[in-house]
DNA sequence: ATACATACC
DNA sequence: TACTGGTATGTAT
């Protein structure tokens, strides 16, 4: 209601020029905004920005309404609280540290200009027509700035020269600068390639005692033969770097660098920082700006104060700090962006003085963390210690491309992303439990879908298993319309600590071969399952299990709310099994449409299932025939169309048909019979089997030696063939052996399979030994198949109505055998997964043998290296853009990846 | 926990 | 023609 005082511009705060940054003072905003507007208007991007703008406006309206309801009483009370907290904060104010924020001036642009004299006189920017990373000061006068698309910048400044990013170069320069930083603070905190925080308190302490010689620097000729004059020794204030101000190169009072000249710097903070900047310029021919203050928040603001090529200091005195804050626009404070700025503006708050005046009100309108932050700002407080880079919390990769509507292509891209992400994760030895899929459609609407697994993952297959399911749900949700995407991303978070990475786990083999002696270690499994069973609602009890299986979970959740469509693979499989039990036999056939008559008990679930079946059946029927004709063994596995072309399924299929216990080959297509056979075998021979453990090492070796090579090729195959089809149908054909189904090609299937794909070698070994459940798929099928009798037999504890899971040793609260069996199945499945993960080298993937050692070294230094290779990839080797996908954006990301190395040197 | 928004470089 | 990519954190359910 009260936010229209700004007139039309109100609706464009996010589109209009953001002249908050240095170099943009005194521009003809209106004219620039008009051009920006005209250029953007009507675009999808623009429309979306408008929408977001309106959301912000609504948020503001809400806030204003809330404000209107505030009573004087409340305000008074709030003020009391604010005052109290203010006192506490004031009491703990720390002014003893000397914090410096150093920021290279127009970094990328400066580097490019330095290396290309031609550019010095021109307005230029680094980036592409699609997006700019930064611009030189000359270009800024036209309103051209970072984060602005190049084509708009061209409208603002037709003569603008756009230079592609060259990250390798920036990284190299950054490394040079950091060497200098480390001399003033070995623990400096890099925020990106071009900026960092330093705590020079200690340095200054020592510096006091330094002789002049240690503070003397010579003006030597730059290594960059390019510009002859570098005004090294001038007083930073008025001198403009020749690089930055190409248009007025003569303006720099370059003291014709008599090579012999030297400058002696003092011992004060200002002198030390001036010296540092001087050295940076000497070394790189680039200028930097700096801020010196008692805390990071202030230092950051200060570094912007006299940019470019300048510095500013706020002495450690409360009064001075408060005076400085008074007129400071809140927007200048890091963390206060355009939305916050706008909300505060709606409350009449523009500068920090007003902010402090309105704290009581703000405490009533904003969350605790928000208003506490505001209070800190208003008091000029900020962090006084530069903590070392903390542990990374997530890792992701995303890509923008031309409109993509083909589901198959989308799955393919998704896999590629997972592949890249997995590589990055493994590089850092990370494993996380939450997988998030990010989608941006052609309307620029962004969606994120996350799922948290029971265990941490880091391989392409594991991640993809979850991601593809998340993607499937989205695709299905708009089907038959296609998802029209412009971006897709995958993120993994919820990292587990190093210790948790190797949880003790008991192998399913152990369980099978022995009696249940070691059946006590599975609390995790037990816990989840038990919890799952708490809710009696049929669908939900599967949830946790699904989680364990990753793939299923997502769809399952959806099905809960939507009541239909996709259920997790396992869910469907289990339902099938149930049906089978009930009906005794179900034809693998498709034709039968159960959809309509599915009004019975299993109701919802079943219905879904049938629906799914229908879809798949059509396809599966086809594939079946194909498969059969080609490979007879396909029998029960025959999935759907998935089989497509060159899959290695045949091999796997063959094995599937082989009883994992007695090693007998069974060509019978009747799954029930096969399952029964296995059950019988288990009853009779499970106990006899040799310990699985022995195999473990071998398996591992094999896995290791059989690297990723497969990933790319298999990926190609996979992506091209089935994706889409796979997803949908699985269930149908593979009635009682869901797991088998999973196996398939490992594509979009559950994690199981994915693994398998790479495990082939392992398999054979195992089968030789006749392990009951050698491989994931086998185990899986086994598990699924085994029935209650088998279970009860094995667990001596289970008596009467109270059943105890032989796997997790947890008593089960249900008497329902079907439920109990499911629980056991899930426990087993989880074990299989865990075991697989255990034997499957998660981190030190064979394709990266050197990583371990590198990591080790870094680790010795007590720091976690976070160097992101992603940027590297962008910089040097052009990503192998997956087939058809054309990447529009020029990944000129402003990367911070160097953040890590930072303190490591020195 | 999930989804979406904001922010920074 | 064309409006990024990576990470953290806050807000809202």
Q: Is A892 within 7 A of strand B by CB distance?
A: no
Alpha carbon of A82 to those of A70, A379, A656: distances in Å? 16, 12, 69
Give percent of chain A with pLDDT exceeding 70.
Answer: 49
User: How many residues are there in chain A?
Assistant: 906
pLDDT, tens digit (0-9, with 9 covering 90-100), for A849-884: 222 222 222 222 222 223 333 333 332 222 222 333
**What pLDDT, on the 0 to 100 scale, is given for residue A502?**
54
Measured CA to C1', the nucleotide nearest A895 is B9
* pLDDT range class, residue A501, cuts 50, 70, 90: low
- Residue A206 CB neighbours (<10 A): 10
Nucleotide in closest CA–C1' contact with A366: C11
Whether residue A687 has pLDDT greater than 60: no
HSE-CB at A489 with a 13 A cutoff on CA atoms is: 18
Q: Which of A630, A628, A454 has its CA nearest to residue A544?
A: A454
Q: Which residue is nearest to nucleotide C9 (CA to C1')?
A: A335
A186 versus A628: the higher-pLDDT residue is: A186
Does residue A774 reach within 7 angstroms of strand B, measured from its CB?
Answer: no
Q: Which residues, 6+ apart, have CB-to-CB distance to A642 below 8 Å?
A: A623, A649, A721, A722, A725, A726, A744, A745, A747
Q: Is the pLDDT of residue A887 over 90?
A: no
**A46 CB closer than 7 A to any strand C atom:** yes
Query: What pLDDT is recorded for position A221?
Result: 60
Residues 130-159, chain A: which have Cβ under 7 A from strand C? Answer: 130-131, 147-152, 154
pLDDT at position A789 over 90: no
- Strand C contact nucleotides, protein CB < 7 Å: 1-12
Any atom of strand B under 7 A from CB of A43?
no
A27 sits in the region (left: phi over 0; alpha: psi -120 to 50; else beta) called: beta
Residue A100's DSSP bridge partners are A198, A292
A803-804 and A446-457 beta bridge pairing: unpaired
Supply the DSSP symbol for A175: H
- Output A681 or A443, whichever has higher pLDDT: A443
pLDDT in tens, A652-662: 222 222 333 33
pLDDT in the model for residue A165: 97
Positions 818-877 in A, CB within 7 angstroms of strand C = 868, 870-871
For the segment A39-61, the average pLDDT, to the nearest whole number, is 95
pLDDT single digits (tens) A200-222: 999 999 999 999 999 999 998 64
Tell if A449 CB is < 7 Å from nucleic strand B: yes
Indicate whether A342 pLDDT > 50.
Answer: yes
Report whether the peptide linkage leading into residue A308 is cis, meaning its omega lies within 30 degrees of zero: yes
Q: Stated in angstroms, how far is A368 CA from C12 C1'?
A: 14
pLDDT > 60? residue A505: no
Which nucleotides on chain B have any atom < 7 A from a protein Cβ? 1-9
Enumerate the β-bridge partners of residue A803: A812
A89 touches strand B (CB under 7 A): no
Angle at A358 between CA A352 and CA A360, to 5 degrees: 135
Instruction: List pLDDT tens digits, range A119-157.
Output: 999 999 999 999 999 999 999 999 999 999 999 999 999
pLDDT 10s digits, A412-459: 999 999 999 999 999 999 999 999 999 999 999 999 999 999 999 999
Average pLDDT over every residue of A785-810: 30
A889 touches strand C (CB under 7 A): yes
pLDDT surpassing 80 at residue A711: no
Task: Indicate the SS3 state at residue A190.
Answer: strand
- Is strand B in 7 Å reach of the CB of A194? yes
> A51 beta carbon < 7 A from strand B?
no
* Averaged pLDDT, A319-346: 97
Query: Residues 358-417 of chain A: which lie with beta carbon within 7 Å of strand C?
Result: 366-367, 369-370, 373, 390-400
A682 closest CA partner among A787, A763, A585, A762: A787
Rounded distance in angstroms from the CA atom of residue A696 to the C1' atom of nucleotide B3: 41
Q: What is the CA radius of gyration of chain A?
A: 32
CA A218 to C1' B4, in angstroms, rounded, equals: 54
For strand B, list residues 641-700 of chain A whose Cβ lies within 7 Å of it: none
Top pLDDT among A304 and A867 is at: A304
Max mean pLDDT among A3-12, A172-181, A605-614 falls in: A172-181
Query: For A352-502, where are the alpha helices, taking DSSP H only?
Result: 352-357, 359-365, 368-378, 407-427, 460-478
The average pLDDT across A492-513 equals 56
pLDDT band per the 50, 70, 90 thresholds, residue A757: very low
Buried b vs exposed e over A553-575: b needs ≥16 C-beta within 10 Å?
bbbbbbbeeeeebbbbbbbbbbb
- In this complex, the answer to whether residue A432 has its CB under 7 A from any atom of chain C, a nucleic strand, is no
| Of residues A691 and A667, more confidently modeled | A667
C1' (C2) to CA (A402) span, angstroms: 10
What phi and psi values does residue A368 have, to the nearest 5 degrees? -55, -50
The distance (Å) linking the CA of A385 with the C1' of B7 is 21
Give the Cα separation of A112 and A279 in Å (integer). 20
Q: Is the CB of A167 under 7 A from strand B?
A: no
How much is the pLDDT for A423? 97
**Smallest CA–C1' separation from A337, nucleotide:** B7
Comparing every residue's Cα with the C1' atom of nucleotide C7, the nearest one is A394
Looking at residue A12, its pLDDT comes to 81
Find the Å distance, CA of residue A449 to C1' of nucleotide C13: 15
A231 CA to C6 C1', in Å? 36
pLDDT band at A635 (very low <50, low <70, confident <90, very high): very low
Q: Residues A162-168: what's their mean pLDDT? A: 97
For residues A857 and A864, give the distance between their C-alpha atoms in angstroms, rounded to a whole number. Answer: 10
Q: Mapped to the 3 state alphabet, what secondary structure does A802-871 carry? A: EEECCCCCCEECCCCHHHHHHHHHHHHHHHHHHHHHHHCCCCCCCCCHHHHHHHHHHHHCCCCCCCCHHH
Is residue A739 classed as helix, strand or coil in its secondary structure?
helix
Is strand B less than 7 A from the beta carbon of A530? no
pLDDT band at A27, cuts 50/70/90?
confident
Is strand B less than 7 A from the beta carbon of A448?
yes
Q: In terms of pLDDT, which residue wins out, A249 or A331?
A: A331
Q: Which of residues 840-879 of A touch strand B (CB under 7 A)?
A: none
Going by pLDDT thresholds of 50, 70 and 90, the confidence category of residue A627 is very low
| Strand B close to A340 by CB, under 7 A | yes
Which H or E run contains A62? helix A44-69
Q: How confident is the model at residue A10 (pLDDT cuts 50, 70, 90)?
A: low
Q: Between A765 and A329, whose confidence is greater? A: A329
- The protein residue nearest nucleotide B9, judged by CA to C1', is A894
Structure tokens at A582: 């009930």
Nearest nucleotide, CA A103 to C1': B9
Residue % of chain A over a pLDDT of 90: 46
CB A553 within 8 A of CB A528: no
CA A388 from chain center: how many Å? 21
For chain A residues 19-38, those near strand C by a CB cutoff of 7 A are: 36
Nearest residue: Cα versus C1' of B3? A448
């Amino acid at each position: 209601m009260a936010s229209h005082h700004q007139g039309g511009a109100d609706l464009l705060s996010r589109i209009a020029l953001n002249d908050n940054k240095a170099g943009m003072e005194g521009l003809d905003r209106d004219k620039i905004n008009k051009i920006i507007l005209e250029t953007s208007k009507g675009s999808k991007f623009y429309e979306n920005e408008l929408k977001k703008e309106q959301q912000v406006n609504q948020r503001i309206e809400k806030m204003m309404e809330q404000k209107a309801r505030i009573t004087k009483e409340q305000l008074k009370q709030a003020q009391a609280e604010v005052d109290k907290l203010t006192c506490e904060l004031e009491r703990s104010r720390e002014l003893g540290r000397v914090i410096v924020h150093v920021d290279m001036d127009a970094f990328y642009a400066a580097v490019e200009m330095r290396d290309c004299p031609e550019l010095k006189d021109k307005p230029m920017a680094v980036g592409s027509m699609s997006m700019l990373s930064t611009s030189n000061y000359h270009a800024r006068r036209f309103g051209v700035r970072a984060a602005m698309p190049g084509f708009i910048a061209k409208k603002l400044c037709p003569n603008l020269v756009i230079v592609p990013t060259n990250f390798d170069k920036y990284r190299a320069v950054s490394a040079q600068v950091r060497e200098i930083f480390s001399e003033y603070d070995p623990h400096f905190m890099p925020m990106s390639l071009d900026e960092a925080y330093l705590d020079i308190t200690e340095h200054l302490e020592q510096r006091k005692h330094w002789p002049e010689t240690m503070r003397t620097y010579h003006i030597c000729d730059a290594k960059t033969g390019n510009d002859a004059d570098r005004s090294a020794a001038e007083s930073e204030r008025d001198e403009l770097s020749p690089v930055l101000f190409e248009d007025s190169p003569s303006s720099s009072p370059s003291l014709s660098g008599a090579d012999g000249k030297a400058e002696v710097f003092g011992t004060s903070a200002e002198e030390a920082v001036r010296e540092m900047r001087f050295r940076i310029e000497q070394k790189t021919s680039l200028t930097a700006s700096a801020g010196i203050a008692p805390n990071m928040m202030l230092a950051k603001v200060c570094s912007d104060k006299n940019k470019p090529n300048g510095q500013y200091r706020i002495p450690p005195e409360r009064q001075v700090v408060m005076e400085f804050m008074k007129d400071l626009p809140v927007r200048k404070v890091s963390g206060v962006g355009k939305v916050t700025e706008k909300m505060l503006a709606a409350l009449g708050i523009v500068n920090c003085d007003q902010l402090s005046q309105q704290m009581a009100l703000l405490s009533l309108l904003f969350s605790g963390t928000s208003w506490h932050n505001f209070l800190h700002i208003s008091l000029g407080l900020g962090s006084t210690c530069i903590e070392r880079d903390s542990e990374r919390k997530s890792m992701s990769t995303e890509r923008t491309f031309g409109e993509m509507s083909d589901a198959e292509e989308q799955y393919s891209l998704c896999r590629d992303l997972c592949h890249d992400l997995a590589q990055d994760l493994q590089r850092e030895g990370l494993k996380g439990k939450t997988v998030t899929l990010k989608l941006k459609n052609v309307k620029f609407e962004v969606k994120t879908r996350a799922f948290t697994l029971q265990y941490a993952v880091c391989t392409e297959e594991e991640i993809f298993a979850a991601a593809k399911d998340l993607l499937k749900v989205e695709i299905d949700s708009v089907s038959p319309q296609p998802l029209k995407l412009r971006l897709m991303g995958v993120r993994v978070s919820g990292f587990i600590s190093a210790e948790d990475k190797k949880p003790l786990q008991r192998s399913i083999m152990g369980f099978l071969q022995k009696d249940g002696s070691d059946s006590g270690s599975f609390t995790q499994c037990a816990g989840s399952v038990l919890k799952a069973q708490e809710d009696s609602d049929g669908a939900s009890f599967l949830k946790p299990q699904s989680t364990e299986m990753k793939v299923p979970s997502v769809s399952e959740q959806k099905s809960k709310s939507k009541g239909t469509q996709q259920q997790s693979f396992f869910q469907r499989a289990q339902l099938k099994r149930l049906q089978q039990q009930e009906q005794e036999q179900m034809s693998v056939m498709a034709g039968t449409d159960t959809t309509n008559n599915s009004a019975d008990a299993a109701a919802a679930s079943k219905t879904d299932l049938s629906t799914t079946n229908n879809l798949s059946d059509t396809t599966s029927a086809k594939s079946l025939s194909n498969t059969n004709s080609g490979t007879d063994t396909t029998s029960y596995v025959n999935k759907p169309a998935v089989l497509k072309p060159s899959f290695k399924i045949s091999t796997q299929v063959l094995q599937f048909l082989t009883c994992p216990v007695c090693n007998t080959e069974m060509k019978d297509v009747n799954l029930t019979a096969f399952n029964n056979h296995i059950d019988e075998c288990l009853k009779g021979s499970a106990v006899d089997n040799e310990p699985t453990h022995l195999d473990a090492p071998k398996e591992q070796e094999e896995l290791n030696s059989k690297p990723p090579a497969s990933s790319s090729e298999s990926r190609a195959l996979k992506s091209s063939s089935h994706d889409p089809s796979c997803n949908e149908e699985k269930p149908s054909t593979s009635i009682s052996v869901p797991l088998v189904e999973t196996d398939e090609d490992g594509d979009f299937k559950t994690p199981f399979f994915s693994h398998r794909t790479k495990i082939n070698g392992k398999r054979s070994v195992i089968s030789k030994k006749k392990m009951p459940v050698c491989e994931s798929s086998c185990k899986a099928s086994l598990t699924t198949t085994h029935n209650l009798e088998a279970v009860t037999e094995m667990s001596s504890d289970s008596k009467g109505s109270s059943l105890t899971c032989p796997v997790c040793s947890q008593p089960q609260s249900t008497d329902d055998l079907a439920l109990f069996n499911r629980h056991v199945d899930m426990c087993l499945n989880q074990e299989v997964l865990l075991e697989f993960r255990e034997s499957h080298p998660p981190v030190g993937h064979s394709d990266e043998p050197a990583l371990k050692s590198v990591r080790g070294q870094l680790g010795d230094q007590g720091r976690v290296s976070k160097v992101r290779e992603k940027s590297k990839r962008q910089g040097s080797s052009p990503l192998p853009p997956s087939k058809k996908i054309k990447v529009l954006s020029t990944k000129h990301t402003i990367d911070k990846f160097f953040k890590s190395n930072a303190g490591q040197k020195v």
